[in-house]
A and B are shown apart, each in its own frame.
With several copies, the nearest count.
Chain A
Amino acid sequence: MNQQSPRLPDSPMIDLQGVTKEFLKPSGEVHTVLRNINLRVAKGEFCSIVGPTGCGKSTTLSLIAGFEAPSLGKVQIKGEKLEGINSRASCVFQTENAFPWKTVIDNVSLGLRLNGTSKNDAFQEARRWIEKVGLKGFEGHYPHQLSGGMRKRVALAQCLITQPEILLMDESFSALDVHTRHLMENELLKIWEETSASVFFITHDLEEAIALSDRVIVLTAGPAATIKGDYRINLERPRNVAEIRFDKQFAELHEQIWNDLRDEVMVSYASANNA
């Protein structure tokens, strides 16, 4: 079931038009990851994307961030064609994004330092963020001296401190325990509400997607994934992510989207099932 999202005002923050992305396989064949993706995210919109593993979520993110160019179609940011790196975005990567040669505080303050903030101010602000993500006392540690979850939190602080217009998040919370995750999710929502950034949020956890977002996009199973569903989440804000899961409307939405998603996941794992 495709629920078309209403037309957004002119020049949406993110606009993917007929985007196709291909890679060359080792064998020389062309492997199509995404096909004909049309997606608009408005300013201040919180948009989640879900889909089976390997369907192309991270690839979509890298197109929006400008790390890679689409094979066909185009990516527009605020009405302008994106060429090279997207200067309005910040990103929490699925893999590590802390710089191993910088301590926690240097990592977190980097965005500010690059914009010319004085070291003092940047460090003060960074300390605030380090505390927010629960790493107080680890300012002087290097990333490899932290646990997996702690590194993820460094990445979060590093990304959020710059208060970007576009926030790209790739499975940012999947390495955290439930409690920490809820804390971080609530923190994220608070920040988002304050800054009205457009958020493009990748997760494999549908509950998380619904709890946080204005919209949930479902991708079909790859290869050549495309958009299967586009759901508007009209739950009241501000939300408490830990509690909203018990909301009735939440359960309905969850069921509705899950039906969609499950089919794709099934397609994707037909082979694994058969084995």
Chain B
Amino acid sequence: MQVQTTLNTQEEIETRKKEMRIRASKIKIRNLSLQIIVFIAIFGSWEFFSDKNIIDPFFFSSPSSIVKQIVEWVIEGTSQGPLYVHFVVSFEETVIAFVIGVILGVIAGYALGMNDLLAVIFGPYIQMLNALPRVVLAPIFIIWFGLGMPSKVALGVTLTFFIVFFNAFQGVREVDKNLLNNARLLGANKRQLAQHVIIPSALTWILSSLHSSFGFALVGAVVGEFIGSTKGLGFLIAQAQGAFNTTGVFAGMVLLSVTALAANWAVSKLETRFIAWRHVRQ
């Protein structure tokens, strides 16, 4: 006989579900309206101050002209081809940098987190490398990786890697000793231990680092484009900055921000999927 875990009729379940849905949508509406209010407050006052010349539009542009600039880019394209090309280039660089940085960061974090000896020997070098200004390294990357995509990717990787590394490292260290022991007793080899215990347990740490590291991958790609390129959002921004076109600079930044938001949304989805067991709790 199966234990019946619910005694509710179908009808009751439906009513209850409906109630829950209504409550959830009420919260959504409240949040959305607050978000809109804050949005209007921020961008409205920006527009207002800029319009009244209280802040110098030369430095700060204004939301309306930024929108106009973006629309123009979208419709007429930029001097170096249509907007989407720049977007695709930057996005591609960012995603590749992000993926490589995350993979390397997780692997290094895992290795050093699990092995004290490795941590003692290589930890200091990672610390040292993390303190190097990437902008200064950019020329070196260009020397090593050439002018194309690889140098931008390398720059993105150097920013992403460290953030992921430090979190993965700590995440691995934080794994419950009891659970590790239990898995070992149950016969887990090293790979299985990683797969079943360490990675799932460190996942909160790793996923948390993804929130900031995607932004940094984007920064890396853009800074790389800044220093040498013919395409990409960084190129657009650099060109606008070179021409003292603040509006263009901000328009580029807005495109970057939107990309970051989209990526963050994706990371959140990942989170809900991979650490479902945490979310059920609430």
Partner-B contacts on A (CB < 8 A): 22, 24-26, 28-32, 35, 65, 67, 71, 85-87, 89-91, 93, 95-97, 99-103, 110-111, 114-115, 134-138, 142, 144-145, 158, 162, 164, 223-224, 270-271, 274
Interface residues of B in 173-229 (CB under 8 A from A): 177-179, 181-189, 192, 196-197, 200-201, 203
Residues of B near A111 (CB, < 8 A) are 186-187
Contact residue among A35, A103, A135 (Cβ-Cβ distance under 8 Å from B7): A35
Q: Which B residue sits closest to A168, measured CB to CB?
A: B185
Contacts A32-B8, A86-B185, A137-B4 known; list 11 others, CB within 8 Å: A24-B20, A90-B186, A91-B182, A101-B201, A103-B277, A110-B183, A114-B186, A115-B187, A137-B2, A271-B3, A274-B1
* Complex: A35 Cα to B178 Cα, angstroms: 24
Given contacts A136-B3, A137-B2, A271-B3, contact A101 B182 (CB under 8 A): no
Please tell me if the beta carbons of A25 and B5 are within 8 angstroms of each other in the complex: yes
In the complex, which of the residues B13, B16, B182, B187 has the most CB atoms of chain A within 10 Å of its own CB atom?
B182
Please tell me if the beta carbons of B200 and A22 are within 8 angstroms of each other in the complex: no
Please tell me if the beta carbons of B187 and A87 are within 8 angstroms of each other in the complex: yes
Q: Which A residue sits closest to B203, measured CB to CB?
A: A101
Residues of A near B12 (CB, < 8 A) are 30
Nearest CB in chain B: distance from A24 CB, A: 7
Residues of B near A223 (CB, < 8 A) are 3-7
Residues of B near A162 (CB, < 8 A) are 186-187
* Complex: A114 Cα to B188 Cα, angstroms: 6
Nearest CB in chain B: distance from A147 CB, A: 13
Please tell me if the beta carbons of A99 and B1 are within 8 angstroms of each other in the complex: no
Contact residue among A30, A65, A96, A99 (Cβ-Cβ distance under 8 Å from B13): A30
Given contacts A24-B20, A97-B179, contact A30 B186 (CB under 8 A): no
Contact residue among B17, B177, B185 (Cβ-Cβ distance under 8 Å from A30): B17
Nearest CB in chain A: distance from B3 CB, A: 4
Please tell me if the beta carbons of B196 and A110 are within 8 angstroms of each other in the complex: yes
Residues of A near B17 (CB, < 8 A) are 28, 30
* Complex: A274 Cα to B189 Cα, angstroms: 36
B120 interface residue (CB < 8 Å to A): no
In the complex, which of the residues A95, A142, A158 has the most CB atoms of chain B within 10 Å of its own CB atom?
A142
- The main secondary structure of chain B at its interface with chain A is helix
* Complex: A271 Cα to B3 Cα, angstroms: 7
Q: List 3 tightest A-B contacts by C-beta distance, closest first.
A: A137-B3, A111-B186, A224-B7
Q: Which B residue sits closest to A224, measured CB to CB?
A: B7
- The main secondary structure of chain A at its interface with chain B is loop
* Complex: A137 Cα to B1 Cα, angstroms: 10
Nearest CB in chain A: distance from B103 CB, A: 21
Please tell me if the beta carbons of A22 and B280 are within 8 angstroms of each other in the complex: no
B281 interface residue (CB < 8 Å to A): yes
Please tell me if the beta carbons of A101 and B200 are within 8 angstroms of each other in the complex: yes
Nearest CB in chain A: distance from B224 CB, A: 37
Please tell me if the beta carbons of A271 and B1 are within 8 angstroms of each other in the complex: yes
Nearest CB in chain B: distance from A55 CB, A: 12
Residues of A near B201 (CB, < 8 A) are 101
B111 interface residue (CB < 8 Å to A): no
Please tell me if the beta carbons of B4 and A97 are within 8 angstroms of each other in the complex: no
In the complex, which of the residues B12, B17, B196 has the most CB atoms of chain A within 10 Å of its own CB atom?
B196
Q: Which B residue sits closest to A26, measured CB to CB?
A: B280
B275 interface residue (CB < 8 Å to A): yes
Contact residue among A30, A142, A164 (Cβ-Cβ distance under 8 Å from B8): A30
Contact residue among B2, B182, B188, B280 (Cβ-Cβ distance under 8 Å from A142): B280
* Complex: A39 Cα to B134 Cα, angstroms: 62
* Complex: A136 Cα to B4 Cα, angstroms: 9
Given contacts A22-B16, A224-B7, contact A101 B275 (CB under 8 A): yes
Please tell me if the beta carbons of B178 and A95 are within 8 angstroms of each other in the complex: yes
* Complex: A51 Cα to B216 Cα, angstroms: 55
Please tell me if the beta carbons of B185 and A114 are within 8 angstroms of each other in the complex: no
Given contacts A142-B280, A162-B187, contact A96 B4 (CB under 8 A): no
Q: Which A residue sits closest to B12, measured CB to CB?
A: A30
Contact residue among B189, B200, B275 (Cβ-Cβ distance under 8 Å from A99): B200
Q: Which A residue sits closest to B201, measured CB to CB?
A: A101
Please tell me if the beta carbons of A67 and B187 are within 8 angstroms of each other in the complex: no
Q: Can you report 29 residue pairs joining A to B where beta carbons are below 8 Å apart?
A: A25-B6, A28-B17, A30-B13, A31-B6, A35-B7, A90-B186, A95-B178, A97-B182, A99-B179, A99-B200, A101-B201, A101-B275, A114-B183, A114-B186, A114-B188, A114-B192, A114-B196, A136-B1, A136-B2, A136-B3, A144-B280, A145-B280, A158-B186, A164-B185, A223-B6, A223-B7, A224-B8, A270-B1, A271-B2
Please tell me if the beta carbons of A29 and B6 are within 8 angstroms of each other in the complex: yes
